[in-house]
């Protein structure tokens, strides 16, 4: 019976020794080994053997990138306005030994450092620029935090401003200003549209006038060419026909009623050429062999009144 108890105690002791000797570190974790309270080595992922009852394994440290969101922090801008800013930090532990011994609580340290840095950065920027320069603020925060946390074995990969909340009165003023800006832009765009429409209308009227003038000019040219062609044709026909004085006198007699046409005509004048034509016409009808009486001569520059 005593032997069984001894064997059981020995077996339990062996199991305890084995359990204290063999350590398994998961992937993306790191373990710090202390021997008699002093740093001895850092265990990477996998199976590791330690000296039981001599070496002590500290809590494992996560080497993956971690995301920490801090509650809104009141920050005063350069123009003395209080805004609440939410921040998100993306960081990663790169040195498990430094993260274990250089800082007691690196999460809290990062939070306090972020708040301090944020107040320093925002304190030198006006509210309007704060709302429109998030990338610039993020870059400054990341640079300062990464430099400060480097000795802690931590690398800050990214800093984001999740929200910037100005006071309610400032929000109302900003909304009114944005509304006024939108109305101003709408008025300017409307005026530009009216201006462009007037310009296009004037251009259209100008082009229309130019085209009408060009058409009128072409029409006059064509009419003039037609008249010239008609005169040339008539002139050629007259020369080709070689009219005698009797024909010309007859044509004058035909034109005489047209000269007297019109109700407003009270006085009409017969040109001297007409008198010459009648004299020619008279000479053609002088007495012949039959002894007919001659036609009385026509006086030049006859004038008649209706």
Q: How many Å apart are CA 22 and CA 289, to the nearest integer?
A: 170
What pLDDT shows up at residue 41?
92
- Residue 23 CB: number of other CB atoms within 10 A? 17
* % of the chain surpassing 70 pLDDT: 77
What pLDDT shows up at residue 296?
47
**Dihedral sign for Cα atoms in the order 169, 171, 176, 177:** positive
Please answer whether residues 34 and 56 qualify as being in contact, where contact means their C-beta atoms are separated by less than 8 angstroms: yes
Least confident of 35-49, 54-68, 275-289: 275-289
What pLDDT shows up at residue 251?
66
Q: Is the pLDDT of residue 287 over 60?
A: no
Residue 303: alpha-carbon gap to chain centroid:
84
Per residue in 2-59, pLDDT tens? 787 877 787 887 788 777 888 889 999 999 999 988 999 999 999 888 888 888 889 9
What pLDDT shows up at residue 283?
62
Q: Count H helices and E strands in the chain, helices first.
A: 8, 11
Which run of H or of E encompasses 45?
none
What pLDDT shows up at residue 268?
55
Q: How many Å apart are CA 149 and CA 107, to the nearest integer?
A: 11
pLDDT band at 65 (very low <50, low <70, confident <90, very high): very high
Q: Is the pLDDT of residue 98 over 90?
A: yes
**65-166 under CATH 3.30.479.30, yes or no:** yes
Q: How many Å apart are CA 95 and CA 104, to the nearest integer?
A: 14
Residue 164, phi then psi, degrees to nearest 5: -125, 110
289 secondary structure, DSSP code:
T
Q: Is the pLDDT of residue 299 over 70?
A: no
What pLDDT shows up at residue 70?
85
Q: Is the pLDDT of residue 151 over 70?
A: yes
Q: Is the pLDDT of residue 182 over 80?
A: yes
What pLDDT shows up at residue 6?
77
Q: What's the whole-number mean pLDDT along residues 156-176?
A: 81
What pLDDT shows up at residue 295?
45
182-188-190 Cα angle (round to 5):
100
Q: How many Å apart are CA 111 and CA 114, to the nearest integer?
A: 5
Q: What's the whole-number mean pLDDT along residues 156-179?
A: 81
What pLDDT shows up at residue 304?
41
What pLDDT shows up at residue 99?
92
Q: How many Å apart are CA 146 and CA 100, to the nearest integer?
A: 18
Q: Give SS3 for 37.
A: coil
Q: Give SS3 for 297.
A: coil
Residue 66: alpha-carbon gap to chain centroid:
40
Q: How many Å apart are CA 176 and CA 146, to the nearest integer?
A: 40
What pLDDT shows up at residue 67?
93
Per residue in 229-259, pLDDT tens? 888 887 777 677 666 666 666 666 666 666 6
pLDDT band at 292 (very low <50, low <70, confident <90, very high): very low
Least confident of 6-10, 127-131, 172-176, 285-289: 285-289
Q: How many Å apart are CA 116 and CA 49, to the nearest integer?
A: 43
Q: What's the whole-number mean pLDDT along residues 169-181?
A: 76
What's the first-to-final CA gap in the chain, in angstroms? Answer: 174
């Amino acid at each position: 019976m005593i032997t069984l108890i001894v064997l059981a105690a020995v077996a339990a002791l062996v199991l305890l020794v084995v359990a204290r000797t063999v350590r398994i570190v998961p992937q993306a974790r790191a373990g710090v080994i202390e021997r008699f309270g002093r740093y001895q080595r850092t265990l990477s992922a996998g199976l590791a053997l330690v000296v039981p009852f001599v070496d002590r394994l500290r809590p494992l440290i996560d080497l993956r990138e971690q995301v920490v969101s801090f509650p809104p922090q009141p920050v005063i801008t350069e123009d003395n306005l209080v805004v609440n800013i939410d921040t998100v930090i993306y960081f990663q532990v790169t040195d498990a030994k430094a993260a274990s011994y250089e800082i007691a609580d690196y999460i809290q340290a990062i939070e306090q450092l972020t708040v301090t840095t944020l107040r320093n950065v925002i304190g030198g920027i006006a509210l309007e620029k704060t709302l429109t320069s998030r990338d610039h603020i993020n870059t400054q925060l990341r640079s300062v935090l990464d430099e400060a946390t480097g000795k802690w074995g931590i690398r800050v990969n990214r800093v984001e401003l999740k929200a910037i909340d100005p006071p309610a009165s400032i929000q109302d003023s900003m909304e009114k200003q944005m509304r006024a800006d939108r109305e101003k832009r709408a008025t300017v765009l409307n005026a530009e549209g009216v201006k462009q429409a007037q310009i296009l209308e004037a251009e259209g009227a100008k082009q229309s006038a130019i085209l009408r003038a060009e058409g009128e000019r072409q029409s006059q040219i064509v009419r003039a060419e037609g008249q010239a062609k008609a005169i040339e044709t008539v002139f050629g026909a007259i020369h080709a026909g070689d009219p005698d004085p009797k024909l010309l006198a007859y044509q004058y007699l035909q034109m005489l009623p047209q000269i007297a046409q019109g109700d407003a005509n009270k006085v009409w004048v017969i040109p001297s050429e007409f008198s010459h034509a009648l004299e020619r016409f008279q000479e053609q009808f002088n007495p012949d062999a039959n002894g007919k009486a001659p036609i009385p001569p026509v006086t030049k520059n006859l004038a008649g009144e209706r």
